[in-house]
């Protein structure tokens, strides 16, 4: 039964990681095309929708992983519920960002809605990195045996990846604020924010999920 649960969890994480990869790469391409002057407002709105959906999937993945970690750690380590609002915030911010992107596609004040969505998605990315780090701490605390050099290296890689993701989220928030304030080159600021978010999401989708999987105890 435990092996079946692990296999199901592995497939679920792989699927969500693929969503991150596709959403991140597509966002990067759309942002670059927008910066080149090709239908920039429309491409910014489409990229916003993609990022919102990817962040929503990322939040759903975190919930699934926390459920698995809670089952594994129940017998040894109590799993705190203090991080639960952060996990749900990732889902809500992703859904809100996607909704604002759709409204921008419908030409409902897109010059304001897309920067606000970038701010929300940037905040969601920061919350996601905090939640993923907490998840990694739970897995390490519930693991049995001595930590190997491979585990220590994987832990450092996770720390570096989440650090990049957090800085990307903060940078996107700053650029989104500048764009929403009506500063000169506001659309450029927003496209750069989307480019940063897409790059961080693509890196996280392909790399961090694999590293987290490597920290799972063998079935």
List pLDDT tens digits, range 35-50.
Answer: 998 889 999 999 999 9
Higher pLDDT, 110 or 206: 110
Count of CA atoms in the C-beta half-sphere (13 A) of 48: 34
Neighbours of 15 (CB within 10 A): 11
Higher pLDDT, 14 or 202: 202
Total-model pTM: 0.77
What is the rounded distance in angstroms from the CA atom of residue 117 to the CA atom of residue 176? 8
Higher pLDDT, 219 or 132: 132
Q: Residue 19 above 90 pLDDT? A: no
3-state secondary structure of 182: coil
Q: Residue 9 above 60 pLDDT? A: no
Please report the pLDDT score of residue 60 as a whole number: 82
Higher pLDDT, 143 or 1: 143
Give, for 180, the enclosing helix (H) or strand (E). helix 149-180
Mean pLDDT of the 9-38 span:
78
pLDDT in tens, 100-158: 999 999 988 888 999 999 999 999 989 888 877 777 776 666 655 445 545 555 555 66
Distances (CA, A) of 152 to 21, 146, 147, 201: 26, 11, 7, 24
What is the rounded distance in angstroms from the CA atom of residue 175 to the CA atom of residue 188? 9
Provide DSSP, 82-115: TTHHHHHHHHHHHHHHHHHHHHHHTTSSHHHHHH
pLDDT band at 5 (very low <50, low <70, confident <90, very high): very low
Please report the pLDDT score of residue 192 as a whole number: 95
pLDDT in tens, 158-202: 666 677 788 899 999 999 999 998 877 889 999 999 999 999 888
- Tell me the torsion sign for CA atoms 27, 201, 14, 105: negative
Please report the pLDDT score of residue 71 as a whole number: 59
pLDDT in tens, 51-102: 999 888 888 877 777 766 665 555 455 555 555 677 788 889 999 999 999 9
Residue 52: closest CA among 94, 3, 111, 4? 94
Please report the pLDDT score of residue 75 as a whole number: 46
Torsion angle of C-alpha atoms 78, 82, 84, 86, degrees rounded to 10: -140
What is the rounded distance in angstroms from the CA atom of residue 52 to the CA atom of residue 58? 10
CB 23, CB 208: distance < 8 Å: no
CB 153, CB 87: distance < 8 Å: no
User: Tokens representing 70?
Assistant: 């809670």
- Return the residue matching tokens 């996990």: 87
Please report the pLDDT score of residue 70 as a whole number: 62
């Amino acid at each position: 039964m435990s092996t079946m649960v692990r296999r199901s969890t592995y497939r679920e994480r792989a699927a969500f990681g693929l969503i991150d990869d596709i959403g991140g790469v597509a966002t990067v391409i759309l942002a670059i095309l927008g910066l080149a002057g090709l239908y920039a407002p429309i491409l910014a709105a489409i990229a916003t929708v993609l990022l919102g959906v990817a962040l929503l999937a990322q939040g759903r993945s975190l919930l699934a992983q926390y459920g698995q970690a809670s089952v594994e750690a129940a017998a040894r380590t109590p799993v705190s519920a203090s991080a639960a609002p952060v996990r749900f915030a990732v889902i809500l911010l992703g859904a809100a960002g996607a909704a604002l992107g759709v409204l921008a596609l419908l030409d409902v004040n897109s010059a304001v809605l897309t920067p606000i969505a970038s701010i929300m998605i940037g905040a969601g990315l920061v919350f996601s990195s905090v939640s993923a780090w907490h998840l990694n701490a739970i897995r390490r605390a519930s693991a049995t045996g001595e930590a190997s050099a491979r585990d220590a290296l994987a832990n450092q890689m996770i720390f570096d990846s989440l650090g990049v993701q957090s800085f990307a989220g903060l940078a996107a928030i700053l650029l989104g604020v500048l764009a929403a304030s009506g500063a000169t080159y506001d659309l450029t600021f927003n496209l750069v924010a989307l480019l940063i978010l897409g790059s961080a999401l693509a890196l996280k989708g392909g790399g961090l999920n694999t590293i987290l999987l490597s920290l799972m105890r063998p079935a």
